[in-house]
Chains A and B, each alone.
Chain A
């Protein structure tokens, strides 16, 4: 079964290129540009890895993480962050995020992050392990 990815980013052309490229690499990929749409996707679809940009059209990535927690939804999240001193990044850390990928990234860095997230969190977001472990945000 193909690994299922959700990529959340407000840059439309970037979303399209990454979706197209990840599909070519054999992943199943959904993309969204808005945080609330991402939360709804995660609520209804089991993703193996969620790649979440900190800056979205309607809300911050940290607010997405908060909303997921509020709803009791688990996701194996990699935060895409452009600025290491960003307040939103710090809030994600406080909320339990442990996986980050610095933007701009190379495509190989993106796939490495996906593989690392899969290896260290074993698709818990998809299988819905209730206790979670490591960096799985619940």
Chain B
């Protein structure tokens, strides 16, 4: 069965571009437009991995990570961060994120990170 990913990002076209690419790679992908939608999806469904943009409206990626930290056996998280967010990215790792990708990343780096984290 395909592994289920949740990908949360507030940019519409980017979200669909990444979703379609991950789907082509064989993953079952759910998307969220912001942190609040991501939390709602996490409450309702089971995911093997979560990709979180750090900067999102309503509830940012860090807040979602904090929410996940309170759950029992939360799925692993990859944070997607900007070049200016290195300090926050390392904070995310301390909070339990499995990995982080700094923008600009390409699909090769994204898939590599996803597969590396899922293989753990």
Q: A residues near B, CB below 8 A?
A: 9, 11-14, 16-21, 23-24, 82, 103-108
Other A-B pairs, 6, CB within 8 Å; known A11-B13, A19-B104, A103-B16: A9-B13, A11-B14, A13-B14, A14-B13, A17-B104, A104-B17
Which of B40-48, B62-70, B105-113 lies at the interface with chain A? B105-113
Q: Which of the listed residues A19, A21, A108 has the most CB atoms from chain B within 10 Å of its own CB?
A: A21
Flag if B103 contacts A16 (CB, 8 Å).
yes
Flag if A14 contacts B24 (CB, 8 Å).
no
Q: Does B93 contact A (CB under 8 A)?
A: no
CB distance from A130 to the nearest CB of B (A): 35
Across-interface contacts of B107 in A (CB, < 8 A): 17, 21, 107
Flag if B104 contacts A106 (CB, 8 Å).
no
Looking at the complex, which one of A13, A19, A20, A23 makes contact with B11 (CB distance below 8 Å)? A13
Instruction: Label chain B's interface by main secondary structure.
Output: helix
Flag if B105 contacts A11 (CB, 8 Å).
no
What's the A-B contact tally at a CB cutoff of 8 Å?
56
Number of B interface residues in the complex (CB < 8 A)? 19
Q: Does B116 contact A (CB under 8 A)?
A: no
Closest to A23 in B: B106
Closest to B53 in A: A13
CB distance from B91 to the nearest CB of A (A): 20
Flag if A17 contacts B108 (CB, 8 Å).
no
Closest to B16 in A: A104
Report the separation of the CA atoms of residues A104 and B12 in the bound assembly, to the nearest whole angstrom. 8
Closest to B11 in A: A11
Q: List 11 A-B contacts (CB under 8 A).
A: A11-B12, A17-B14, A17-B17, A17-B105, A17-B107, A20-B106, A103-B16, A104-B12, A104-B16, A104-B20, A105-B16
Flag if B9 contacts A106 (CB, 8 Å).
no
C-beta contact mask, B32-63 vs A, less than 8 Å → 1, else 0? 00000000000000000000010000000000
